[in-house]
Amino acid sequence: MSLGISILLIAFICMLLLEVPVAFVVGISTLLTVIALGYPQTLQTVAGDMLNGVDNFSLLAIPFFILAGDLMGAGGLASRLIQFASVLVGRVPGGLSLVNTLTCMLFGSISGSAAAAVSSIGNTLIPEMNQRGYDKDFNVAVTTSGSITGLLIPPSNVMIVYAVVASGISVSKLFMAGIFPGLLLGATIMLVCIAVCYKRGYGKNTTQQSLPNFFPALFSALPSLLLIVIVLGGIFSGWFTATEASAVAVIWSFFLAVICYKQVQLKHLPALLARSARTTGVVLFLVATSSAMSQVLTLEQIPQLISQSLIALSNNPIAILLLINVILLLVGTFMDITPAILIFTPIFLPVTTELGMDPIHFGIVMIANLSIGLCTPPVGTCLFVGCSVGKTSIAGVSRQMLPFYFAMLLALLLITFVPEISLWLPSLLDS
């Protein structure tokens, strides 16, 4: 192991153990490595790499989608989506768990935030499920599992981050590639809900939803659902790019939250803008520091060394992909999804490209892997938020999560080894 990578790893691990924020961990460990290796104009080099990392037009989509998500979250979106999901799947025994999952899928895809889905949907549905006799820990497990589907169903900020790091990847194609994997992940979670509820007898006395209730619920939720249609339809039809679509999403979200639903008043906008700005600052600072780290890794030829080491272990592409999946699953258990994408994309993308894997397909596989990590201890963001909302323990919820983990791993294997699930829709753009 070279001096540079030794310093980088030691500094990185030590600061993580000291609970230093990840963005500072990445930046400081990169700076220490550059100083130790004696690169000329150290500070100017790191600062230049950080600036170049965020000097990308596609990154403009991130603050817009974050603001759109905050507007929709504060604009009364959750209750309307819950009502709509109830008339779709609420008649099934145990249907409230399906309502929970489906609403998380819809809300997550619109807001682009898994944590926001857990908080918004969980605050409403977890107490309702508790009153209906569902196990409290199971209710949190359902909400936590369903929340991550929105990271695969576009629009998704983490997809934009991956496209920027991978360079040359079309955000529009990446959005299209995530639709079927996201739906597949949601379907496997719903199958677990059905099986568990049937076995335990949850929700037998489900309120029947009559057909006339469908149309009022659809009418109420339709403006919110139109955001997905407008954004994805505009991108796929070529009317606007993914970055331009993010601005359209803000305009439509503003119209719904302030004018249509009237849940957000003009005096609330400064606080919403400030919250979105803080979130954007965290993400873009991570992008900047990770770009500097990527330059150091490239100069030290770390991606090439890892690629050669993995291929030396086996010449079987299936074995290598399984190994990469295992590594990413482990990474996801202790690192949030955005820094993990920024750090590990430059390392593993060359390996998978050499195996003949499409970069868009690998992006979906990576996001699916790291999304599962949001539900796993010790650093599962969605798991912690869910336990806080549900007022229960991580140990109890983790036990209830076990069948959901198996379902998510099954979906992950299908996404990994059946590329057509991810690549069929993007291929339509080339035809």
* Digit-coded pLDDT (tens) for 51-108: 887 887 778 888 888 888 788 777 777 677 777 777 777 667 677 888 888 888 887 7
Average of pLDDT values for 33-59? 79
**What does the block give as tokens for 28?**
């400081």
pLDDT tier at 41, thresholds 50, 70, 90: low
**C-alpha to C-alpha distance for 332 and 330, rounded to whole angstroms:** 5
Residue 168 has pLDDT above 90, yes or no: no
| Domain locations in the chain as residue ranges | 41-430
Map residue 125 onto helix, strand or coil: helix
For 24-34, what is each residue's pLDDT tens digit?
A: 888 888 888 88
Q: How many residues does the chain have?
A: 431
Position 211 pLDDT exceeds 70:
no
Instruction: Point out the least confidently predicted range of 212-216, 224-228, 245-249.
Output: 212-216
Q: How sure is the predictor about 40, in pLDDT bands with cuts at 50, 70 and 90?
A: low
Q: How would you classify residue 19: left for phi > 0, otherwise alpha for psi between -120 and 50, otherwise beta? A: left
Alpha-carbon distances, residue 125 vs 10, 92, 153, 301, 397 (angstroms): 44, 16, 21, 50, 16
Q: In what helix (H) or strand (E) does residue 117 lie, and over which residues does it extend?
A: helix 114-131
Find all residues with CB under 8 Å of 127, minimum gap 6, and list them: none
Residue type for 430, please?
A: D
Q: How far apart are CA 296 and CA 404, in angstroms?
A: 38
Give the pLDDT mean for 215-222.
77
Dist. CA 420–CA 26, nearest whole Å: 35
Of the candidates 73, 15, 3, which has an alpha carbon nearest to the alpha carbon of residue 339?
A: 15
Task: Please state, rounded to an integer, the average pLDDT across all residues of the chain.
Answer: 83
For the ranges 6-15, 50-59, 61-70, 412-421, the one whose mean pLDDT is highest: 412-421
Over the stretch 259-314, which tens digit does the pLDDT of each residue have? 888 888 888 889 989 988 888 888 888 888 888 888 887 777 777 777 777 777 77
Mean pLDDT of 389-399: 87
Find out whether 383 and 397 touch, Cβ atoms under 8 Å: yes
* pLDDT range class, residue 205, cuts 50, 70, 90: low
Which of the pair, 229 or 159, is modelled with greater confidence? 159
* Confidence band for 322, pLDDT divided at 50, 70 and 90: very high
User: HSE of 195 in the Cβ direction (CA atoms, 13 Å)?
Assistant: 9
pLDDT at 338: 84
Q: Decide if 371 contacts 114 (C-beta within 8 A).
A: yes
Q: Encoding tokens for residue 146?
A: 């369903």
